[in-house]
């Protein structure tokens, strides 16, 4: 019975049918040099990559809260801060300089499971040294048009639901995407929108069953950070992002170095 249950579980997982096909499981897009996306950061726990972050300033990295907080029906757990580090300055996800994290600030709405505010700010123990390979990214200063063209960058879905797709390269990639009307997105992502407001959310369409990038991947419009990937998949359902324009004041206030 245990064997049968395991087989049934594998059949029901969305990625299971394509997990053996590297052309489907691995994200698409062109490979990047780090100078093309110097704001990318690999967030790590016990030196294992767990999600993607965006450098907001030399001491602040923005991530999705789901990177560090996991919920189930009975418990909430998080990575211990002493185990969390940030690695920057290299297109190879597992290379580059590592910096310790001294503080984690969660968006106040996130604790009540508001997925449209599922953000956290990592405060680094030491400031990053800006260079051609390490740079901050500015936040958008206006509401993104619902049909805007954008680009998504990051590493592959190597840790989707705790499963590792080891045949995927760990080199940063970029994929052009098209935003779609959030109301149409809500029709396909009904579970997500039970806990998210339309005006605080951005969605982009998918044209094939490639897996989304890791959670936290930055969505850029006209060279500015517009969204943080919150919900992705290995199917045709839209990718869902926190709309950073709606929380820009919180980001700017928490990114300030108060020391």
Q: Give the pLDDT score at 159.
A: 43
User: What is the chain's pLDDT, residue by residue, as a tens digit (259 residues)?
Assistant: 444 333 333 322 232 233 334 444 566 788 999 999 999 999 998 888 888 999 999 999 999 988 886 544 333 445 556 688 999 999 998 888 789 999 999 988 766 567 777 899 999 999 999 999 999 999 999 999 988 999 999 987 644 444 444 556 688 999 999 999 999 999 989 888 888 888 889 999 987 777 788 889 999 999 999 999 998 887 889 999 999 999 999 999 999 865 5
Smallest Cα–Cα separation from 177: which of 239, 244, 223? 239
The predicted pLDDT at position 111 comes to 62
Q: Which long-range contacts (CB under 8 A, 24 or more apart) does 229-234 make?
A: 229/52, 229/64, 229/152, 229/154, 230/64, 230/66, 230/115, 230/118, 230/192, 231/115, 231/189, 231/192, 232/157, 232/160, 233/14, 234/14, 234/15, 234/18, 234/24, 234/25, 234/157, 234/160, 234/209, 234/210
Domain boundaries, the chain: 19-32+138-245, 35-136+247-255
Let me know if domain 19-32+138-245 sits in CATH 3.40.50.2300: no
The answer to whether the CB of 218 falls within 8 A of the CB of 186 is: no
Written out in words, the top-level CATH class of the domain with range 35-136+247-255 is: mainly beta
State the Rg of the chain over Cα.
Answer: 17
Question: Can 19-32+138-245 and 35-136+247-255 be said to share one CATH topology?
Answer: yes
| CB crowding 55-75: b at 16 or more within 10 Å, else e | bbbbbbbbbbbbbbbeeeeee
**Best CA proximity match to 168, nearest among 228, 233, 213:** 213
DSSP H or E run through 45: strand 40-45
Find out whether 133 and 89 touch, Cβ atoms under 8 Å: yes
Buried b (16+ CB within 10 A) or exposed e, 158-185: bbbeeeebeebeeebbbbebebbebeeb
């Amino acid at each position: 019975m245990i064997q049968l249950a395991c087989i049934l579980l594998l059949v029901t997982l969305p990625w299971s049918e394509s997990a053996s096909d590297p052309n489907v499981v691995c994200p698409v897009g062109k490979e990047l040099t780090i100078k093309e996306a110097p704001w990318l950061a690999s967030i790590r726990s016990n030196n294992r990559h767990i999600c993607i972050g965006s450098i907001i300033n030399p001491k602040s990295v923005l991530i999705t809260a789901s990177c560090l907080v996991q919920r189930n029906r009975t418990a909430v757990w998080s990575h211990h801060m002493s185990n969390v580090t940030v690695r920057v300055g290299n297109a190879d996800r597992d290379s580059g300089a590592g910096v310790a994290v001294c503080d984690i600030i969660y968006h106040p709405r996130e604790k009540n499971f508001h997925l449209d505010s599922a953000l956290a700010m990592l405060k680094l123990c030491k400031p990053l040294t800006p260079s051609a390979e390490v740079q901050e990214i500015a936040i958008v200063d206006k509401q993104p048009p619902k049909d805007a063209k954008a680009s998504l960058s990051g590493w592959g879905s190597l840790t989707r639901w705790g499963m590792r797709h080891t045949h995927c390269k760990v080199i940063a990639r970029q994929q052009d995407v098209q935003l779609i009307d959030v109301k149409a997105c809500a029709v396909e992502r009904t579970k997500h929108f039970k806990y998210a407001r339309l005006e605080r959310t951005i969605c982009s369409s998918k044209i094939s069953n490639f897996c989304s990038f890791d959670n936290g991947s930055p969505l850029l419009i006209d060279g500015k950070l517009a969204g943080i990937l919150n919900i992705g998949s290995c199917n045709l359902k839209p990718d869902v992002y926190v709309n950073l324009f709606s929380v820009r004041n919180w980001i700017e206030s928490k990114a300030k170095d108060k020391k």
